[in-house]
Amino acid sequence: MAAATEAGSRGADAAIIDGRAHADALGDRIAAQARDFAGRTGRAPGLAVVLVGTDPASEVYVRSKGRMARKLGMESFEHVLPETVSQSDLMALIGRLNADETVDGILVQLPLPGGLDSLAVIEAIDPGKDVDGLHPINAGYLASGLPGLVSCTPYGCLMLLRDSLGDLSGLDAIVVGRSILVGKPMAQLLLAANCTVTMAHSRTKGLAAKVGQADIVVAAVGAAEMIRGDWIKPGATVIDVGTSRVERDGRMRLVGDVDFAGARRRARAITPVPGGVGPMTIMTLMHNTLIAAHRRAGLPAPDLG
C-alpha cells in the first residue's frame, strides 16, 4: 500500500482496483459456505427476484443474478410480472415470498413502472429477507450500528476499500451522491469504519475543493465524468459507482462519474467502469442472501471478509 500511495503522489498512473477479481474470490468463499449450509440444513439458500415489466437491461440483470445464484449453489426464484400488474397483486406476491420457507432473500428490481408505490413494496418485504438492504428497519440498524442487511453496492465498495487500504480509521472520505441505494448507506459504512465523512451532491458549493481534501472519494451522483481528474487529491483512492452511456468517436461507451484518465494520473488506486463496482454489487447480493439464510436458520452468520 505504501508503494501505491507514493506512486499516486508522484503522478504515476494509479493502480486499477479489479472488481471482477475481488468478486470471483468472494464468490468462491460464498460457494463453500452455501455447500456447508445445505449440508447442515438439507436445503440451499434461496433468492427470489421480482421484475415488473420488460425493460431489456433489467431482464439481463435479473437473469445474471439467477445464473450467479445457481453457480454458487443457491436456489433462484424469478418472478416476472407484466407492467400492468396492480399494486395489490404485487403486494400479494411479496406476502407469499415472505411466508415461503425456501426463500431467504427477496429483491424487487427497481425502479418500478409508474403508478406503483416502490416505498410500500420495500416496506412490505420481511426485513430479514431484505437482501437489498432498503427496508427502513435495515437502514435504521445501519445508522444505529446494529447488525442488519446492508445495501449491496455500498457494501461492495467498502470491501474494495478495505482490501485496497486495510484499516480505514482516520481517513477523510467524501461521498458524492445522496441516494438511499448508495450515497446514504455508503456514508454510514464509512463512519462505522472510523472515517471522517463528508456527504456531498450535485448542488454542493465548492465541490472541487471538498473532493480535493479527501483520501477516499466515492462517486455515486449519476452524472457522466462530473468529477474531474484534477480535483482528486494526489494519492487518494477513488471508487466510481456511476455508469452512463456517452458517445465517443462515433461509438457509445460506458463511463463513470469520474474522469477516469485524469483521475488515474493523480490517484493511488481507482475502480474502472465497467469492471469495478458492478461485479461486486451482484456478489454482495449473494453474500447477503447467504447471511440471511444463516440467520433465519438460527446459525451463526459466516465471516466472508
Q: So what's the pLDDT on residue 57?
A: 77
Q: So what's the pLDDT on residue 2?
A: 33
Do 160 and 122 have their domain in common? Answer: no
Mean pLDDT of 213-242: 97
**DSSP label at residue 95:** H
Q: Is the pLDDT of residue 5 over 90?
A: no
Q: Is the pLDDT of residue 11 over 80?
A: no
In sequence order, the 6+-apart residues with CB closer than 8 A to the CB of 222 are 177, 179, 242, 244, 257
The answer to whether residue 27 sits within a structural domain is no
The helices-and-strands tally (H runs, E runs) of the chain is 11, 11
**In this predicted model, which residue has the larger pLDDT, 257 or 5?**
257
Q: Is the pLDDT of residue 8 over 80?
A: no
Do 251 and 202 have their domain in common? Answer: yes
Q: So what's the pLDDT on residue 55?
A: 79
Alpha-carbon Rg for the chain, nearest whole angstrom, is 20
Residues forming the active site: 65, 109, 132
The answer to whether residue 8 sits within a structural domain is no
Domain that holds residue 196: 151-279
Do 243 and 158 have their domain in common? Answer: yes
Mean pLDDT of 8-32: 88
The answer to whether residue 286 sits within a structural domain is no
Do 108 and 173 have their domain in common? Answer: no
Relative to beta strand 172-176, strand 196-200 is: parallel
Q: So what's the pLDDT on residue 106?
A: 98
Q: Which of 10, 14, 12 is nearest to 164 (CA)?
A: 14
In angstroms, the Cα distances linking 304 to 31, 75, 156, 164 are 11, 20, 12, 16
Mean pLDDT of the chain: 93
Do 249 and 177 have their domain in common? Answer: yes
**In this predicted model, which residue has the larger pLDDT, 169 or 147?**
169
Q: Kindly state the greatest CA–CA separation across the chain.
A: 59
Question: CA 197 to CA 195: how far, in whole Å?
Answer: 6
pTM reported for the whole predicted model: 0.91
Torsion angle of C-alpha atoms 285, 104, 178, 211, degrees rounded to 10: -30
Mean pLDDT of 201-226: 96
Give the CATH number for residue 205: 3.40.50.720
The answer to whether residue 68 sits within a structural domain is yes
Do 116 and 163 have their domain in common? Answer: no
Do 157 and 119 have their domain in common? Answer: no
The answer to whether residue 284 sits within a structural domain is no
The answer to whether residue 285 sits within a structural domain is no
User: Containing H/E element for 48?
Assistant: strand 46-52
Mean pLDDT of 126-143: 96
Do 105 and 166 have their domain in common? Answer: no
pLDDT tens by residue, 87-124: 999 999 999 999 999 999 999 999 899 899 999 999 99
Give the CATH number for residue 80: 3.40.50.10860
Q: Work out the end-to-end distance of the chain between its first and last CA atoms, rounded to an integer number of angstroms.
A: 19
How many domains is the chain built from? 2
Do 212 and 115 have their domain in common? Answer: no
Q: Is the pLDDT of residue 281 over 50?
A: yes
Do 118 and 155 have their domain in common? Answer: no
Do 163 and 249 have their domain in common? Answer: yes
Q: So what's the pLDDT on residue 58?
A: 80
The answer to whether residue 266 sits within a structural domain is yes
Choose the final residue of a domain: 81, 111, 126.
126
Do 160 and 246 have their domain in common? Answer: yes
Please state which of the ranges 9-18, 147-156, 157-166, 235-244 shows the lowest mean pLDDT: 9-18
Q: Is the pLDDT of residue 280 over 50?
A: yes
The answer to whether residue 51 sits within a structural domain is yes
